Structure 1
Amino acid sequence: MKTIDKKIHVAMASDDNYAHHLAAAICSILKNLGDDRILCVYLLHEKLSNKTKEKIELLKKLRHFELEYINISCEKYEPFKIIVGLYISRLTYARFQLPSLLKNFDKCIYLDCDIIVRQDLSELWDIQLPEYAILGAVEEPGARHRNRVLDIPDSFSYFNAGVILLDLVKLRKSNFEEKAYEYLKKNGSLLYADQDVMNALFCNSWYALPIKWNVHTNVYILKSVNKYYKYQAHEVENVFANAAIVHFSHERKPDSLISQCAYRNEYWQYLKYTAWRHILPKDINLMNLTIRIYWLIKSLVKKSPILFVCMRMVKRAITGYYLSKETTRYKFF
C-alpha cells in the first residue's frame, strides 16, 4: 500500500509588484489545507526585495509551512516579448526550470500567483496522473483557435498553465527545459508565451484535471462557460459554486476598483490576513469611483423600471461629461 506524502510541494513565481497576490494565494492554501498536511512553497524570483520577503515570512504566524526562496535568472528569455497582458513579465518562463530546480522531487504543483484556493489542496496533490501524462491541467475555454497557430491537431484541447500538476521525473527525461527554449528560438514571441510552448510540446500528453481546480474568472466575465470541449455538461454545471481554485486570469485583477472578478470579495478576505491588509485598490480615481458607484446604484434599482430609466439618464449625462473632457470611455459604462 502506497504511503501518503504529507508534504505538498508547490512552486510559485513572483516579483515585488505581484507579492500581495502571492500572499493572498498562500494564505488561502493554508486556511483550507488539511491538518495532517505540510505545505512546502518554492518561490522562484529574480530580485525579490528583503522587505517583501519579511512580509511573506509573516504568513507563518497563520500556520507553519516551509518556504524556500529560489533566485533564478530569466534573462535568456528577454528577447521573447510578452504580447498579451501588461501584467505578465519574463518571470512567467520560470516554470520551464522547475525540473532542474526541484531535482530531488518527483512531482510538484505549479500555481500562478493570481489565484485563491478554496478547498483542500491535498486533493489535487493526491491525484495520480495516468502513464501517458506528463502533466495535469484544466482546459482553457474558448482557446482552441490556438491549435491552428501552434500546429496542434483539432482533436486536442488547449490547457491553461496557471494551475498544473507536474510529473518532474517525466519532464526531466523529456529534456523539457531545453526543448521549450529551442521551441521559442524557432518560433519567436508567442501570444500566450510559456503556455503556448507547453501546449505545443505536450498536446497529446496532458491529463484533464477536474474543472474545479482552475476556474477562470474570464469564464465569468466573458460568459464562455459553454466553450469547454474536454468536459461534459455535468462537469461544467455549477462551475463557479464548486470552484476549488479561482484563477483571476482577467487583466483586471481583484485589487482593481473596477474589477468584475467572481470571488473578488474572498480575495480581499484572504488579503486581510497578510501584511498587505491595509492596501487600497490600485486604480482609485474619479472615473473609476464614478463607475463603481454607478454599478452599486444600478444593482439596487434594477428591479424598478422608473428608477432604471432615471439611471440611464444619469449614465448618459456622466458619459457625456467624460467625453467632453476627452477621457477614455470604459466599455463597462
Structure 2
Amino acid sequence: MPDSIYLTLSSDNYYAPMVATLLKSIEQNYQSAETIEVYIIDDGISATNRKRIEASVRADLFHIHWHPAKSVVPATVKLPADKSALPMTTYLRLYAPYIVPPEARRLLYLDVDMLVLGNIADLWHTDLRGCVCAAVQDVGQTVSCAWAGIRNYRELGMDPDTKYFNAGVLLMDVQQWREADIANRVIRCMNDNLKHVTCADQYGLNVVLMNQWVQLDPRWNWFSTLPHAAPYLIHFVSVDKPIFAACSSDKHFLDLFFTYMRQTSWKNFQPISNQSRFFHKVYRKGKKISMHMLARL
C-alpha cells in the first residue's frame, strides 16, 4: 500500500467555505494512489460547517481529522500579539507537526485561501535534500525587502540578500521540525522582536529557518494578483478574499474559485458584504490589541 499524504489546514468558522473549496480543488486535480489524511486545526468551526466540509469531498480519498485549536498550542505558550490584521489561526501551523501520528515523516501545510490546480502528489514527493522544509520564495524576494521582509535583518546578522519565503505553503520534515523546536523558537523570536514583525509568524519562520529551506517552483504558491497561464497553486493573498463582494484578484482566478466552490456544500454561497468584512477585520485586530495589552500587564 502506498504511504498517505499528510495535509494540515487551520481555519475559523468565517473561512469554512474556503476550506471546502480548497479541498475540492485538490480532489479534482489529484492523480495518485495515496489517500490524504487531512488534519484541520479548528478555531471555532461550527458543527454544521464541519459536516458541510466533510460532505463536500470524497470520503474514500480524504480522511478528515478535527483538532480544536486550544488542544494544539501548549497552554504555556504566549502567542505574539502582532499588529497585523491576520487572524490568530496563522500561528497554529507552527504546532501542526505535533498533531500528526508517529508514522508521518513529512507534513504539508496550506493556507486555506488557496486553490490547487496541479497534482498535489507532485508537491508531496519533493526532495527536501536534508532541509527542515520547502517553500516558495516570496515576491519580496529577500529579507531586505522594504515593504515585507525582516525589518531588523541587520541587527539579527542576516545578509541583505538572504532569500525570504512565503509561509502559505510549507512542506515540513516532521522529525527535524520537532527536534529543532522550530515552533517555540519562532514564537520566542517574535516576542523578542515584536516591534519589527510583519506578516505574523512568517517573520519568525524566516529568521529561524534562514538558509534551511528548499526553494519550490514559484507555481506552487502563485499570488492571485499576478496573471499566469498555468500555476499549480493559486494563493489569494489580497485582504479581499474571493468570499468577499470586492476582491482584487485576477478575474480568471476568481472564476476558477467559484467553479470549485459550486461543487461543494456552498454551491449557493453569496459573497460577504464589504461592511461585514470590515467589521470582521476590526474584530480580529481588536482581539490582537487586547492580547497585546494583557501581555503587558
TM over 0.5: yes
What corresponds to 2:152 in structure 1?
149
Tell me how far apart the structure 2 counterparts of residues 79 and 270 of structure 1 sit (CA, whole Å). Answer: 34
Q: CA deviation at 1:96?
A: 1.1
Q: CA deviation at 1:76?
A: 6.6
The answer to whether the Cα contact below 8 Å between 1:109 and 1:166 also exists between their aligned partners in 2 is yes
- Once the two structures are superposed, residues 232-253 of structure 1 have per-residue CA deviations (whole angstroms, 9 ceiling, x without a partner) of xxxxxxxx11200000011111
Q: CA deviation at 1:78?
A: 6.8
The structure, 1 or 2, with the larger RCO (C-alpha pairs under 8 Å, 6+ apart) is 2
Tell me how far apart the structure 1 counterparts of residues 170 and 17 of structure 2 sit (CA, whole Å). Answer: 21
Tell me how far apart the structure 2 counterparts of residues 142 and 44 of structure 1 sit (CA, whole Å). Answer: 28
- Once the two structures are superposed, residues 174-209 of structure 1 have per-residue CA deviations (whole angstroms, 9 ceiling, x without a partner) of 111221222122122622111111001011101100
Give yes or no for the alignment of 1:128 onto 2:127.
yes
Q: 1:176 to 1:56 in 2, by over 3 A?
A: same
- Of 271, 278, 293, 1:281 maps to 271
Tell me which protein shows more helix as a share of its residues. Answer: 1
- Once the two structures are superposed, residues 252-311 of structure 1 have per-residue CA deviations (whole angstroms, 9 ceiling, x without a partner) of 1122333231200000000001111111121279xxxxxxxxxxxxxxxxxxxxxxxxxx
What corresponds to 1:182 in structure 2?
188
Q: 1:76 to 1:29 in 2, by over 3 A?
A: farther
With structure 2 as the length reference, what TM-score do the two structures score?
Answer: 0.81
Superposition map of 1:192-271 within 5 A? 192-220=199-227, 240-262=228-250, 263-271=253-261
Tell me how far apart the structure 1 counterparts of residues 265 and 76 of structure 2 sit (CA, whole Å). Answer: 33
Tell me how far apart the structure 1 counterparts of residues 262 and 41 of structure 2 sit (CA, whole Å). Answer: 24
SS in 2 for 1:200: helix
What corresponds to 2:81 in structure 1?
81
Superposition map of 1:85-104 within 5 A? 86=85, 88-104=86-102
What corresponds to 1:166 in structure 2?
172
Question: Pairwise CA RMSD of aligned residues?
Answer: 2.1
- For residue 175 of structure 1, what is the amino acid of its counterpart? D
Larger radius of gyration: 1
- For residue 95 of structure 1, what is the amino acid of its counterpart? R
What corresponds to 1:302 in structure 2?
none
- For residue 168 of structure 1, what is the amino acid of its counterpart? V
Tell me which protein shows more strand as a share of its residues. Answer: 2
Q: CA deviation at 1:60?
A: 3.4
Superposition map of 1:26-45 within 5 A? 26-45=23-42
- For residue 16 of structure 2, what is the amino acid of its counterpart? A
| Unaligned 5+ runs, structure 1 | 221-239, 286-333
Structure 1 window deviating more from structure 2 (170-179 vs 4-13): it is 4-13
Q: CA deviation at 1:155?
A: 2.7
Q: CA deviation at 1:38?
A: 1.4
- For residue 125 of structure 2, what is the amino acid of its counterpart? D
SS in 2 for 1:158: strand
Q: CA deviation at 1:106?
A: 1.1
SS in 2 for 1:110: strand
> Which ranges of 4 or more aligned residues in structure 1 deviate by more than 6 Å?
75-78
Tell me how far apart the structure 2 counterparts of residues 149 and 164 of structure 1 sit (CA, whole Å). Answer: 24
Sequence identity (%):
23
Structure 1 window deviating more from structure 2 (95-104 vs 122-131): it is 95-104
Q: CA deviation at 1:167?
A: 0.7
Q: 1:106 to 1:141 in 2, by over 3 A?
A: same
Aligned positions, number: 260
